[in-house]
Amino acid sequence: MDQKGIAPLVIVAVVVVAVAVVSVGAYVAMSGGSGTNTTTTSVNIADATSLSFKLDATLQGVSTTGTFMAKGLGSSNVKMRIEMTAAGQDMIIIIDGAERKAWAYGDGQWMDMTSTFDQYWEQWDQAFEGYKSQLGGWTGGDFTTTEPSTGMVMRIYDVEVNPNLPDSLFQPT
């Protein structure tokens, strides 16, 4: 299938996932922390320059899983990679804040989404900042929360503060 054929599929899948993930990210940022931790250790997310974590979310019986990775936090050169599976669809989103570029991977192909960079940036930066804010009170282990207005259940786990994330993760392959 050519890029024009997968474009609607990728965009629809990304929008569906983005709406769910961004709404949870915004909620957790504003909620001030209603989740629970399973262990207690000392971790300072606020000072992280890179961050990686996994996420499982369930809303109305639909499960979404993903891995979020970012580097350059606290600068204008933030790079993000989001690998997600939602409704049986695998996708990858890469956003490069320094170069103002974005790519989406779905249906076995990469698409240059740079023409919609601002939309991608706004959605995913807001979501990532929401998760980072919520994790500001995280002390280790799994973090779970339920968003009361939708009933979405979310678990954040395998959190790594300041992991070494190679630049190659933030380029389409």
Q: What confidence tens digit (pLDDT) does each residue in 25-56 have?
A: 444 443 444 455 444 444 578 788 899 999 89
Dump pLDDT digits (tens) for 92-114.
999 999 999 999 998 889 999 99
Those residues with Cβ within 8 angstroms of residue 24's Cβ, 6 or more apart along the chain or in another chain: 57, 127, 130, 147, 152, 154
Half-sphere exposure of residue 55: CA atoms within 13 angstroms, side-chain side:
31
Q: What percent of the chain has pLDDT over 70?
A: 75
Identity at 55, one-letter amino acid code: L
| Residue 72 tokens, joined | 């350059």
What are 100's two structure tokens?
A: 């103002």
pTM of the predicted model over 0.85: no
Return the structure tokens found at 24.
Answer: 């949870």
